[in-house]
Amino acid sequence: TPAIAIRDLVKRYAPAGDAEGKLALKGVTFDVPQGGIFGLLGPNGAGKSTLINIMAGLVRKSSGSVDIWGFDIDRNQRNAKRSIGIVPQEIVFDPFFTPFEVLENQAGLYGIAKHLRRSEELLRAVHLADKRNAYARTLSGGMKRRLLIAKALVHQPPVLVLDEPTAGVDVELRRQLWELVTEMNREGVTIVLTTHYLEEAEELCDRIAIINHGELIANKPTRELVGMA
C-alpha cells in the first residue's frame, strides 16, 4: 500500500458572504509511496494547503477519496488520523509552556500513557534537549519550528506532512530544517512537504508532484523531472 492514496479529489469552497465559491482541487489523483520524501510543488493559490488540510481532517473534501496508510479518512478516520503527523505553517505555542510541556501535553491529547511517552527522546531528535525547560517565548524561530516537528511526531505516525516548512526562513535555518527532515526520513518516516521553491524540492525530494490551479500537472521521480526543465 502507498503511504497516501488520493483519488479524484475535488474541493469546492462554498461561497461565503459576497465571496464566490472556488474550485480549489479539480479531481486530483496520485500516490505517495512509502519511505521517501515526496514534494508537492506549486505556486501560491495552487491548492497545496487545501490538500494538506483535507489529509489532516481540517477541511472537508467535496468528492473523491483519501487513504492514509491504507485507512480511508472518512470510513476509518481514527486510524487515518493516527497515521499522519502535520507540521502547520504557522507557529502557535503558549508562550509560557516549555518544550517538554508542549510534547507532554500533546501526548496527553493522544491518550498516550506516561510511561510510553517519548518527550525526552523527541527533544534530542530535534536538537532541543538543552531547551527542555525554557519558556517557548524565549526560543528562536528555528527552535520553534523544530519543536513543531517534534510535536507532530509525538504519536509516532508513519507519515509526516510539512506545509511550506521553510517559507520565510533564512538560508542557514533552511539548511538546518532540510537536515532534520532528512534525518527523520532515515529513521523510516515517510515525508510529504509542500513548497514553492523548486530548488528545495530538487534537493530534498526523491519524487515531485506539481500542482497548479487545482490540477496535478506532473508527478515524477526528481531526476526525470529535472531533466525536463
Interface positions with ligand ADP (CB under 6 A): 13, 19, 22, 24, 42, 44-50
The 3-state secondary structure of the chain, one letter per residue: CCCEEEEEEEEEECCCCCCCCEEEEEEEEEEECCCCEEEEECCCCCCHHHHHHHHCCCCCCCEEEEEECCEECCCCHHHHHHCEEEECCCCCCCCCCCHHHHHHHHHHHCCCCHHHCCHHHHHHHCCCHHHCCCCHHHCCHHHHHHHHHHHHCCCCCCEEEEECCCCCCCHHHHHHHHHHHHHHHHCCCEEEEEECCHHHHHHHCCEEEEEECCEEEEEEEHHHHHHHC
Q: Specify the residue, 7 or 22, whose C-beta has the smaller distance to ligand ADP.
A: 22
Q: Specify the residue, 103 or 193, whose C-beta has the smaller distance to ligand ADP.
A: 193
User: Whole-number minimum distance, CB 9 to ligand ADP, in Å?
Assistant: 12
Q: Specify the residue, 25 or 149, whose C-beta has the smaller distance to ligand ADP.
A: 25
Q: Specify the residue, 10 or 129, whose C-beta has the smaller distance to ligand ADP.
A: 10
User: Whole-number minimum distance, CB 195 to ligand ADP, in Å?
Assistant: 10
User: Whole-number minimum distance, CB 147 to ligand ADP, in Å?
Assistant: 22
User: Whole-number minimum distance, CB 72 to ligand ADP, in Å?
Assistant: 22
